[in-house]
Amino acid sequence: MNFTLDDDASQIIYSAGWAIQGTHSADLDQYFERTFHVAEQDGASVNITFSGSAIAIYGSTGPGHADYTVQFDDDVLPSQSAYASTTQFQQLLFQRDFSSSNAAGTHFVSLKAVFTDQGNWLDLDFLTFTDGNITSGASTTAAVATVTPPYLSNAHLTRSLVSPFTVHHDRSIRSGHAPSEETPASVWLHCVRARRHTPHRLIRTRVLHASARLS
């Protein structure tokens, strides 16, 4: 039986240096489930451990695309390229049939981006595997922001990280720095910080005093 795993599945383990799709990307509908991961750094890698007899990895190919290498178990497939004269989506980047060796065993596959002077774009869209299961890794590194694909000049891309502190009333406290005056936002933050070490009654008193100063 064949199984499909999207790029944002928790079982796929990304190193540092990866990014995610923008919500308004012009070609987002071309990707499986409208998501992808893209390597932002040379040497960024993605690892998959699974039990089964075959695996295939898909992404886009096109102008400005990077090279990559693939390790599968103890073998390495060097000097692969995602370059193509025209942009194409959901293209096969790697495929391996393990049925002739150890079909029932556990296999490890790692794909690593290799940036060149001709291309520095490599995305992972989804993968498929046959007969078995994907093993979850111990940890993952969260992707941060996307970069503009080489074949798009007007893509609108977004970040996946949010401000460390987000408060009501459309106010945000960024990078852990509170406002200089007692605003509803700062009262909220003081309350959150106090909650860890201060009894509820004292927190309520502080908020009431702060509200009185505001009025």
Q: What is the phi-psi region of residue 53: left when phi exceeds 0, alpha when psi lies from -120 to 50, beta otherwise?
A: alpha
Nearest alpha carbon to residue 127 among 213, 50, 30: 50
In a domain, 24, yes or no: yes
Q: Are residues 36 and 130 in the same domain?
A: yes
Q: Are residues 56 and 116 in the same domain?
A: yes
Q: Say how far apart CA 36 and CA 6 lie, in whole Å.
A: 8
In a domain, 28, yes or no: yes
Nearest alpha carbon to residue 128 among 96, 99, 157: 96
Q: What is the pTM of this model?
A: 0.64
pLDDT of residue 74: 85
Domain that holds residue 51: 2-135
Q: Are residues 6 and 55 in the same domain?
A: yes
pLDDT of residue 136: 54
Q: Say how far apart CA 121 and CA 63 lie, in whole Å.
A: 9
Q: Are residues 102 and 175 in the same domain?
A: no
In a domain, 127, yes or no: yes
pLDDT of residue 149: 52
pLDDT of residue 103: 58
Number of C-alpha atoms within 13 angstroms, CB side, residue 159?
4
pLDDT of residue 26: 77
Q: Are residues 63 and 7 in the same domain?
A: yes
pLDDT of residue 46: 97
72 phi and psi angles, rounded to 5 deg:
-130, 115
Q: Are residues 14 and 74 in the same domain?
A: yes
Domain boundary among 95, 113, 135: 135
In the chain (215 residues long), the average pLDDT of successive 10-residue segments reads 91 95 85 95 95 93 97 90 97 89 78 96 94 54 46 38 29 35 36 39 42 47
**Secondary structure class of 203 (helix, strand, coil):** helix
